[in-house]
Structure 1
Amino acid sequence: MHWTDDGFVLGIKRHGEASAILELMTRAHGRHLGLVRGGAGTRMRPVLQPGNLVRADWRARLDDHLGSYTVEGLALRAGGLFSDPHAVFAVTHLAALARLLPERDPHEIVFDSLEVIVEHLADAALAAALIVRFEVLMLSELGFGLDLDSCAATGTSSDLIYVSPKSGRAVSRGAGEPWRDRMLVLPAYINSDYEGPVSAKDIDDGFKLTGFFLARHVLEPRGVTLPDARAHFIQAVRRTLPDAA
């Protein structure tokens, strides 16, 4: 068995004296592991860092074997992340989210979204908005998609500012106002066409929305909680925003 694909480094684990097991989120082959011979050495260490984009050549005798990788770097961004605490936490959190997907299950849209996020990690507010939207995408890819296109009560597609915690459907301002205290806020930037500014409150509202459904539908049934890196990322981003309390 043999294939070549691009992938984002999610993590690496030392294997033996000099090798390492590399975990990638690839474009066409999903989340995929493989052995890199010499991967624990100084030559490969800068390439096999979480957040880097690599081209991987995978070979195995049978499809269900671990197999081995030969890897070359395409975009080695990891080294530049250490100056931005929010970026380090972002990469850790994105890897944790990707690990919710079954291994070797293709999700090309997840790869493409990761590519966009990693390219914009230097802009903390934009990165936060993109990661909220990525969490919405992950809910959909895991089979728990939110319905944010029209109001659950009226069918209108305008002035959608709430989400029902029961149904996961959007609710318009007029229909949701009597129950506003029970509703989750739907930030405007979750709409892919939104290009306005993003405030600290917008960030908090977005992560509260996605965190609620991730916890209820995905994490709690597995007996796990939201990763610490997510909370650290939110805190780091909020410190960069002028309206942060």
Structure 2
Amino acid sequence: MKTFLFLICILICFQLPAQDLEGAWKLTHQNGNPITDQEFIKIYQDGYFAFGAKEIAGNKFMYAGGGEYKLEGNSYSESLDFLTLDPEQVGTTNQYTLDFANNRIVISGKIKGEDLIEIWEKVSSRKDDLTRNWVITGRKRDGEISEMTPGARRTVKILSGGRFQWIAFNSETKEFSGTGGGTYEATDGNYTENITFFSRDDSRVGAELNFEYEVMDGKWHHSGLSSTGNPIYEIWSPYKEAYQPAK
């Protein structure tokens, strides 16, 4: 633990000013322990974050969490919309200290009275046509578009740093319906997903899915075949514009 604290001191002493949190990050240490047999990927975009964790051997899904975040100086907070590890935390806000340190962030604080210190390393800050936090607002079936207004029950899809994660949940009932994520490419109307974790079926890890996309009037039109082989046509809207929580 002393070695771990010394590493944190070195990182913070050589921190770089005004780095950007948006993008994809990988957890490398937690409370002094290196993360070697598990993979935690966390995506930040448009004031929202999501993470997914799996076991590397066998690709077994472990847990996921996410919601809105705020960063002012090195004061950092997360307001949880979903958390499979501890659903009772949904709707609560946790306060932390966050320091940027040479392509890494150090997040420290207390969760339920227990110390938590994490080191995350930047995976990528890459941006493209679809870099955004989205929420589904429509589907096309038999040529007809049906629209929906997201409420407590919603499906979010966050893309940044070449990583994506979708999550279906209900923030009022704290019900979690599923999540999946991985890497993606979005170029010239072609969108490809490579699945690295999937809560409903670990055997889907490694699958590559190809779609067509177009951004029209600020909305993402997404079409192709789903992971089950069924045709889909989805419409995703920017989360901040489409989702208005109840006052």
Larger radius of gyration: 1
| TM-score, normalisation: structure 1 | 0.33
Higher helix share: 1
| TM-score, normalisation: structure 2 | 0.33
Higher strand share: 2
